[in-house]
Each structure stands twice: as C-alpha cells, then as structure tokens.
Amino acid sequence: MSVLINKETKILVQGITGNMGKTHTGLMLKYGTKIVAGVTPGKGGQEVHGVKVYDTVQEAKEKTGATVSCIFVPGFYALDAAYEAFDAGMELVVIITEGIPPHDEVKIIRRANELKTNVIGPNCPGIITPGECLIGIHPGIIYKPGKVGMISRSGTLTYEVALTLSNAGIGQSTCIGIGGDPVIGLGFKECLRLFNDDPKTEAIVLMGEIGGTAEEEAAELIKKEIKKPVIAYIAGRTAPPGKRMGHAGAIISGGKGTADSKVKAFKDANVEVADIPSQVVALVQDAIKQPIKV
C-alpha cells in the first residue's frame, strides 16, 4: 500500500517533447515508473525515450489506459493542459510547472474540484512512492522504501529531509510535494487524511513554510482526526515580512503567515516541531517507537 500511486500506476506526460518533459521522462523511466504515453499537440506519432507521443490526452488514454497525467508545459499553457487532462477523465493530475498566473490556478483547482479529480501542485516536485513509482522531478536516489509519509510545500527541502531520513535508515511510504504557490490542489489536510488511512504509513513528516494559513489549518485537523504521529518543520523563521521568498506563496502579508504562528499552532496541537531539518530524524525515531493513538 501507499498513497495515490503504486508500481501499477500508468502515467502519461503532457509536454513530453519539451526540455523539462524529455529530461524527466528519461529519469522517471529509469526509476521504473510506468510512463505509457506522452502528449504534445502536433507531434503525435513521434517517440521520446521509446514512449509514444499522441496529439491529445483523450487518444493517449484510450490507447494506453493511463490514469495519471504529469504536466510539464509552460506556465501560460498549463490551464489548457490541465482542462484537457480533466476532461479526458484522468484520476490524478500532477502539475510540475512553475509560474502559472494565479487567475489560472483558481480556474484549474475549481474545475478539478467540480470533477473530483485530484491535483498535486502546481509548482511542485511531484510525488514518489520509493522503489515503486516516481512522478515529477524528485531525485529518486535520495529516497528509500519505508514507513514515513512526507508532505511538503518545498522541493529541495523535501530532498534534504528525505536524505537525512534515508541516511539514518528510515524509509518513506510516499512523499508528496504539494507545491509552493498560493493556490494548490491537494493540501496538507487532504494529504494528512490519506496518510492516516494508509496502513503502510506509521508517521507523517509535514514541511511547511511562511505564508498563508495552511499549516494552522493542518494543526487543527491533526488535533481532531489524525491518529498517527506527525512531525513538523517550518522554514522561514528569519524571513522578513512583505517580501516574497522565492515561492509565490511564501510571503508574510499583513502580519499573517509567520513561522511563529505556525510553530505555535503545531505545538498547541501537540505536534513535535523540529527546530532544524536534521532534527526531524530523531523526532521520527521517537515517534515510531510509540504505539499509534487509538
């Protein structure tokens, strides 16, 4: 078991003939991911790393049985690509693209909610079930199969923590990069529920950052519903207010979205908060020794 994806998952890549699409299709195939099709309008019939390219998502799905799409198309084309994936009946759409205008993101997420399609991202590293399936741009080599579920707003920070966990012999069930933009699909709350219901996951690591209130809402949910131990880390304690820190969503505005507020929310919910990324390991080790709350 794992969350959302496993070794049987069939994936198509939208934007497979672009630089990013081509490079990462190669890396995903090497990891063992079942990429069954690519889509680039007007390039149907070509091949990328031996994967057949189709003109439309509909055709790619009919010919291959793909159920998940991974989108690499440039920012201004992502809305159209996502709509195409939704209308073709994809069950999960992973949007790697960075720089999608928020007005488009609102439309993408609204449409996904109407159709009850799961979206991961945008502006995210994707999702990985170590040893089985990698969708997106995670460096697969860092991860090990195991029992810790990871949810994160940041790509490289996830790699950092996953690396220290793996080095300490602690593997991961599934790692989801939910994305660093203000409007995203699956958030902390949805992912916490997925891991809570996943028999293979014993502890959950949640990596947040400044901006918005998703961490505070996650803390509320943990208090009410989540039975498994959660370990949190928040980046941006030294970030100045009013400045966008790289991610479009990482900004303290009007006094809201500070690291202090998020740390406090987690502590109030009895969630262990790591002061520094490397401390996550010890907190996870402590947590998985304890029996799960009933």
Partner 1 sequence: MKLFEFEAKTIMGSIGIPVPKGQIIKVAEEVFNLKLQYPVVIKCQVQSGGRGKAGGVKFADNLDETYEIAKKLLGLEINGIKTSSLLIEPKTDIEKELYVAITLDRGRKSHILLGSSEGGVEIESSDSVKIIPVQTEYKPYLGRKLAKSMGLSESKLNMVSEIINKLYSLYENYDLDLAEINPLVFTKDGKILALDGKMTVNDDAIDRQPFFQGWEINHLTDVSERELKAKIAGLNLVELKGKIGIICNGAGLTMATMDLVKKYGGEPANFLDVGGGADEGRVKRALKLVADNPNVKIILVNILGGITACDEVAKALKTFAVENVDKKVVVRLLGNNQEKAAEIMKGTGIKSIDNLDMAVKEAVALGGKV
Q: Give per-residue burial for 210-248: e unless 16+ CB within 10 Å, then b.
A: bbbebbbebbebbeeebebbbbbbbbbeebeeeeebebb
The dihedral built from the CA positions of residue 22, 10, 60 and 121, taken in this order, carries a sign that is negative
Cα dihedral 229/161/92/64 (nearest 10): -130
Give dist(CA 96, CA 123) in Å, integer: 5
Question: In angstroms, what CA-CA distances link 284 with 131, 202, 208?
Answer: 21, 10, 16
Q: How many CB atoms lie within 10 A of CB 283?
A: 20
Closest approach, Cβ 84 to partner 1, in A, equals 19
Q: Which is nearer to partner 1, 145 or 277 (CB)?
A: 277
CA dist 229 → 100, 147, 201, 273, 284 (Å): 34, 12, 10, 12, 8
Shortest gap between Cβ of 293 and partner 1 (angstroms)?
Answer: 27
Closer CB to partner 1, residue 146 or residue 155?
Answer: 155
Q: Which is nearer to partner 1, 60 or 251 (CB)?
A: 251
- Whether 247 is catalytic: yes
For residue 122, is the peptide bond before it cis, meaning its omega torsion is within 30 degrees of 0? yes
- Within 13 Å, how many C-alpha atoms sit on residue 280's CB side? 30
- Cβ 76 vs Cβ 101: under 8 Å: yes
Q: Which residues contact partner 1 by CB under 8 A?
A: 23, 75-76, 98-103, 106, 109-110, 125, 137-139, 142, 152-160, 163, 180, 182-183, 207, 209-210, 212-214, 217, 233, 235-240, 243-250, 254, 275-278
Asked whether the beta carbons of 140 and 31 are under 8 A apart, the reply is yes
DSSP H/E element including 129: strand 126-129
2 secondary structure, DSSP code:
-
Strand (E) or helix (H) holding 156: helix 155-167
- Measured from the CB atom, the residue of 54 and 155 that comes closer to partner 1 is 155
49, 103, 138, 247: the active-site residue: 247
- Alpha-carbon distance values, 233 to 74, 194, 198, 213 (Å): 31, 19, 22, 15
> Active-site positions?
247
